């Protein structure tokens, strides 16, 4: 049996159209049923975040000292926190922060890292050496420690969190983009492009990028999971988006102070982080298996 | 092996130098004046200038860089701006806790992860394989602090088997181990997830090799084929993963130490960040960087031991 592949690498360097790509994607998903589970969970959580104002039963920052630390009930499905705020509504709104920071930081990391990787692979020589040595050094730091350091220096805000997390994934994207670029660089059609006098920028963007994008996007889904976990971790440490904006990590941190009396305060947002990260891991794992020739049966 | 070791040692020097340069730049180039951060917005310009002068922050960047490298070469990592104690003293006080936690977590990861990965690979596409894959994927989706909180809830609050706060008396081995169990388990289970996945994919690759098929055809018992023929060769990628994820483990240990209120390098970093203790932070980053360069070096040297071909290259 031949497993389906995400065919994003036509020899011409140009895409083969959306229908073909979607058909390939469908076969990839069918080859690994767990990817479907991941996709359904992820889309469900995204919809919950988008429609949070409609789904939320209470205002997420509305405090009520009379209703503080109430266990889950009919009026407050997941209980209330130490300020009497509804945990369910805060989790829904918190999903927005996690998703925005997770997706935006990966998008930023992908653009910067992808560009650096393609440049390094395409130009080779000292440009390659210089870029990749810097990337290797950045990779040697533990991601969380690096994120912690950058966000502590820049100050905790949503934009700075995005920058800090993007900073930690840039070297990973650069590495992933560089390898296929080196393989593609030697192809005849690239040689033909050069002979036609196309600029390096045009060759890299129009003719190399489509060939390396598939692999980068698959890993981007896995690293979005990591990015969301890092955002939650930074918020848990106290370096997240400032209160009263609900963030999952921040909710877990606040809830942890009441672990003896109100364990639900840290358990439910913790489960939310787990579910989102797990859905992305399921999704990315299935996609990666599908494009990895070594794992094909 | 001696030449191989020497070669690796020399190759680590430029990496270390580059890492030190990055640390220096991150601490210096990012916005924010450390003097104002420490003294507060209300400090007078005169006090700020004197403080900057004392720390050498008024010197040109390259002079500061030269001094930074010279001090590290002499083993001087500076002193805390807050406590006045040297970085070595602060690190020395918590290092045993961090080493205990890291070593125990890796041990748990290896002891559980390798057998699980091998089992999954041998039963490829069977139910054992599916369950192992799903559980390991779930394991690596757990944020480290959430694992720690769940363990505290079950084993400290409900069952009361272990303390909520992990403050061991390091002179008492039994107390040291007792306080280590939950923190090590919380990180070790995450490590297990990574090692299981690496062991599975590495074993799958090796089990498809010709020499494994030959061994089977010769009638070698399946257990011997798996453990002696396949596993030995599958170990190199597994060792790489353990080396790679050590960084992840060190990062996650920050969270574990916070939840268990356990002393350690990670907690020291967070405290220095909160106190804006840049000197301490810089020293700690150097310690981390050296630690990681040494781990990478040890990973390389382990290859040499596991695979004789590596050291002859």
Split at pLDDT 50, 70, 90, the class of A9 is very low
How far away is chain A from the Cα of B30, in angstroms, using its nearest Cα? 6
- pLDDT, residue A10, reads 42
**What distance lies between CA B143 and its chain's CA centroid?**
16
Contacts of B132 (CB under 8 A, 6+ apart): B116, B117, B119, B120, B196, B200
- pLDDT, residue A107, reads 97
A79-83, A90-94, A210-214: segment of lowest average pLDDT: A210-214
How far away is chain A from the Cα of B46, in angstroms, using its nearest Cα? 24
For the stretch B283-292, pLDDT in tens is 888 888 787 7
Split at pLDDT 50, 70, 90, the class of B181 is very high
Among candidate residues B242, B10, B274, the one with its CA nearest the CA of residue B112: B242
3-state secondary structure of A204: helix
pLDDT value at A11 more than 60: no
Among candidate residues B97, B26, B183, the one with its CA nearest the CA of residue A147: B26
What would you report as the CA-atom Rg of chain A, rounded to the nearest whole angstrom? 22
A75 neighbors A28 (Cβ within 8 angstroms): no
- pLDDT, residue A6, reads 46
Residue A287 vs residues A34, A291, B135, B254: alpha-carbon distances, Å: 10, 6, 18, 31
- pLDDT, residue B32, reads 63
User: Alpha-carbon distance A226 to A280, whole Å?
Assistant: 9
CATH assignment of A88-296, among 1.10.287.3510, 3.10.20.740, 2.40.480.10, 1.10.3720.10: 1.10.3720.10
Q: Which two tokens stand for residue A30?
A: 């069918």
Residue A80 β-bridge partners: A86
Contacts of A281 in chain B (CB under 8 A): 137, 140-141
pLDDT value at A212 more than 90: no
Asked if A140's CB is within 8 angstroms of B269's CB, the reply is: no
For chain A, give the mean pLDDT: 86
pLDDT value at B133 more than 80: yes
pLDDT value at A1 more than 70: no
A258 neighbors A82 (Cβ within 8 angstroms): yes
Q: What is the mean pLDDT of residues B96-103?
A: 91
**What distance lies between CA A38 and its chain's CA centroid?**
14
Contacts of B255 in chain A (CB under 8 A): 144, 233, 236-237
A20 neighbors A272 (Cβ within 8 angstroms): no
Residue A102 vs residues A52, A99, A231, A257, B216: alpha-carbon distances, Å: 18, 5, 7, 26, 48
pLDDT value at A12 more than 50: no
Split at pLDDT 50, 70, 90, the class of A243 is confident
- pLDDT, residue A267, reads 95
For chain B, give the mean pLDDT: 86
Residue A217 burial (CB count, 10 A): 16
Torsion angle in degrees (nearest 10) through CA of B289, A172, B100, A250? 110
**What distance lies between CA B254 and its chain's CA centroid?**
10
Contacts of B264 in chain A (CB under 8 A): none
Residue B79 β-bridge partners: B86
> Which of A134, A142, A259 comes nearest B251 by C-beta?
A142
User: Alpha-carbon distance B99 to A244, whole Å?
Assistant: 37
A100 neighbors A241 (Cβ within 8 angstroms): no
Residue A285 vs residues A39, A228, B18, B115, B308: alpha-carbon distances, Å: 11, 16, 33, 22, 33
Asked if B292's CB is within 8 angstroms of A142's CB, the reply is: yes
pLDDT value at A103 more than 70: yes
Q: What is the mean pLDDT of residues B162-191?
A: 88
- pLDDT, residue A224, reads 94
Q: What is the mean pLDDT of residues A49-53?
A: 95
pLDDT value at A4 more than 60: no
A26-30, A96-100, B197-201, B249-253: segment of lowest average pLDDT: A26-30
Give the architecture (CATH level 2) of B97-312.
Answer: Orthogonal Bundle (1.10)
B77 neighbors B68 (Cβ within 8 angstroms): no
- CB contacts < 8 A (A, B): 126
Higher pLDDT, A17 or B118: B118
Q: What is the mean pLDDT of residues A226-240?
A: 92
How far away is chain B from the Cα of A128, in angstroms, using its nearest Cα? 16
Q: Which two tokens stand for residue A260?
A: 């003896």
DSSP letter assigned to residue B84: -
Q: State whether residue B254 sits within 8 Å of chain A by CB.
A: yes
Question: Which pTM value belongs to this model?
Answer: 0.86
Contacts of B263 (CB under 8 A, 6+ apart): B93, B94, B97, B167, B257
Q: Which two tokens stand for residue A272?
A: 């939310």
For the stretch A263-273, pLDDT in tens is 999 999 999 99
- Per residue in B154-170, is it b (16+ CB within 10 Å) or e — as a string? ebbeeeeebbbebebee
Residue A45 burial (CB count, 10 A): 19
Residue B114 vs residues A30, A130, B121, B235: alpha-carbon distances, Å: 30, 37, 11, 9
- pLDDT, residue A270, reads 96
Q: Apex CA A34: angle with CA B245 and CA B150, to 5°?
A: 55
Split at pLDDT 50, 70, 90, the class of A7 is very low
Higher pLDDT, A125 or A29: A125
Higher pLDDT, A246 or B246: A246
Residue B247 vs residues B73, B120, B243, B292: alpha-carbon distances, Å: 24, 26, 8, 7
Among candidate residues A43, A187, A180, the one with its CA nearest the CA of residue A114: A180
A60-64, A226-230, B36-40, B86-90: segment of lowest average pLDDT: B36-40
Q: State whether residue B22 sits within 8 Å of chain A by CB.
A: yes
Asked if A274's CB is within 8 angstroms of B143's CB, the reply is: yes
- pLDDT, residue A287, reads 79
């Amino acid at each position: 049996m031949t497993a389906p592949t995400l065919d994003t690498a036509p020899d011409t360097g140009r895409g083969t159209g959306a229908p073909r790509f979607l058909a390939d994607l469908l076969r990839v998903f069918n080859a690994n049923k767990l990817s479907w589970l991941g996709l359904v969970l992820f889309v469900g959580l995204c919809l919950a975040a988008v429609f949070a104002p409609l789904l939320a039963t209470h205002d997420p920052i509305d405090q009520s000292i009379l209703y503080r630390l109430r266990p889950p009930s009919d009026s407050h499905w997941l209980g209330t926190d130490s300020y009497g705020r509804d945990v369910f509504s805060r989790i829904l709104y918190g999903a927005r922060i996690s998703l925005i920071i997770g997706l935006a930081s990966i998008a930023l990391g992908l653009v910067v890292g992808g560009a650096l990787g393609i440049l390094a692979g395409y130009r080779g020589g000292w440009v390659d050496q210089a870029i990749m040595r810097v990337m290797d050094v950045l990779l040697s730091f533990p991601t969380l420690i690096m994120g912690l350091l950058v966000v502590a220096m820049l100050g905790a805000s949503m934009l700075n969190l995005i920058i800090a997390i993007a900073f930690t994934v840039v070297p990973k994207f650069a590495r992933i983009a560089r390898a296929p670029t080196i393989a593609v660089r030697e192809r005849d059609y690239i040689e033909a492009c050069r002979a036609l006098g196309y600029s390096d920028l045009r060759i890299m963007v129009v003719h190399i990028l489509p060939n390396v994008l598939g692999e980068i996007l698959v890993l981007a889904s896995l690293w979005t999971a990591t990015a969301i976990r890092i955002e939650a971790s930074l918020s848990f440490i106290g370096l997240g988006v400032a209160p009263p904006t609900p963030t999952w990590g921040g909710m877990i941190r606040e809830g942890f102070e009441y672990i003896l009396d109100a364990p639900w305060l840290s358990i439910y947002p913790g489960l939310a982080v787990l579910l989102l990260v797990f859905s992305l891991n399921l999704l990315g794992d299935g996609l990666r298996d599908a494009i990895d020739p070594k794992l094909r049966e | 092996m001696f030449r191989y070791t020497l070669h690796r040692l020399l190759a680590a020097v430029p990496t270390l130098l580059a890492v030190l340069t990055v640390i220096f730049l991150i601490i210096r180039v990012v916005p924010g004046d450390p003097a104002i951060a420490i003294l507060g917005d209300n400090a007078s310009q005169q006090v700020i200038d004197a403080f900057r002068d004392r720390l050498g922050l008024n010197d040109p960047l390259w002079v500061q860089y030269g001094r930074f490298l010279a001090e590290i070469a002499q083993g001087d990592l500076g002193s805390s701006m807050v406590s006045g104690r040297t970085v070595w003293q602060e690190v020395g006080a918590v290092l045993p806790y961090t080493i205990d936690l890291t070593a125990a977590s890796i041990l748990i990861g290896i002891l559980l992860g390798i057998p699980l990965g091998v089992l999954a690979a041998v039963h490829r596409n069977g139910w054992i394989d599916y369950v192992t894959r799903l559980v390991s994927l779930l394991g690596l989706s757990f944020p480290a602090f959430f694992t720690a909180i769940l363990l505290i809830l079950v084993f400290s609050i409900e069952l009361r088997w272990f303390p909520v706060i992990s403050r061991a008396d390091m002179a008492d081995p039994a107390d040291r181990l007792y306080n280590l169990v939950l923190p090590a388990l919380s990180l070790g289970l995450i490590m297990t997830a990574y090692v299981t996945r690496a062991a599975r994919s590495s074993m799958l690759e090796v089990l498809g090799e010709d020499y494994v098929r030959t061994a089977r055809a010769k009638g070698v018992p399946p257990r011997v084929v798996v453990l002696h023929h396949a596993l030995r060769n599958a170990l190199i990628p597994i060792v790489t993963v353990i080396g790679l994820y050590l960084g992840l483990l060190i990062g996650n240990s920050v969270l574990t130490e916070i939840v268990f209120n356990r002393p350690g390098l990670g907690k020291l970093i967070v405290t220095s960040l909160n106190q804006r203790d840049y000197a301490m932070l810089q020293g700690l980053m150097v310690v981390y960087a050296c630690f990681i360069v040494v781990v990478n070096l040890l990973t390389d040297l382990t290859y040499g031991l596991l695979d004789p071909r590596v050291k002859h290259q």
